[in-house]
Amino acid sequence: EITPAQFQRLIVTSRADKLEEQAAKWTSFQAGAYDAVIVTPQAFVRTQLQETAARDYLGQVAAIQRSVKLEQRNAQHTKKPSERQRAILKHGVEAWMRERLELPKNLRPVPGVTWDAIGVDLLLVDEAADYKNLYMPEPREGDTPKYMGSGGSGSARAWHLDARANTVRQRTGGAGVVLLT
């Protein structure tokens, strides 16, 4: 039988870093104190993209531009467009970007740290299947194609990974992203 004191001495556990601690560690990483960092999916999305990097990403992905155009077209033909549809009609890609790349309501960004400023040159993603469903089928000719699954805008997790992977590929000339399952 193990006593509580033995348990505390033998079993090593960790706790999640506070945002300020995360910021300090990212700054140390940028300064070269570490060669590699292992982060959780939550810590990953807390390092927000600079707006210029997000715009560059959006400008390169034709599917995003097509999706925004389809949403704008559909909103124009709706008698009572939703607030989201009105925002996409008015602001186009900007509104689309904010909606897809915003943090979940229960998370706050790491203060003073952006993903593109960290300088990642190799991104290894374990359990990459958790980041799927980036491009979902859109309604065409009045209905969603049945053979392509349910419609929607793709998972937020997938958009966050794709945008961050894009900054790594730009930094490395097209390489630097490895997906594991």
Report whether pLDDT(63) > 90.
no
How do residues 83-96 score in pLDDT, each as one tens digit? Answer: 766 666 666 666 66
Residue type, 165: A
User: Of residues 91 and 30, which shows the higher confidence score?
Assistant: 30
Q: Where are the alpha helices (DSSP H) in 92-175?
A: 93-101, 115-118, 156-172
The domain ranges of the chain are 37-179
- Determine the pLDDT at residue 73: 73
How many whole angstroms separate alpha carbon 156 and alpha carbon 107? 13
**Cβ within 8 Å of residue 97, ≥6 positions away:** 54, 55, 58
User: Of residues 163 and 99, which shows the higher confidence score?
Assistant: 163
Torsions phi, psi for 125 (to 5 deg): -115, 110
How do residues 109-163 score in pLDDT, each as one tens digit? Answer: 999 999 988 989 999 999 988 888 766 555 566 665 565 555 555 678 888 898 8
Torsions phi, psi for 48 (to 5 deg): -70, 160
User: Of residues 43 and 91, which shows the higher confidence score?
Assistant: 43
Do the Cβ atoms of 152 and 139 come closer than 8 Å? Answer: no
How many whole angstroms separate alpha carbon 25 and alpha carbon 42? 15
- Determine the pLDDT at residue 179: 93
Chain mean pLDDT for the chain: 79
Tokens of 146: 């049945």
- Determine the pLDDT at residue 143: 62
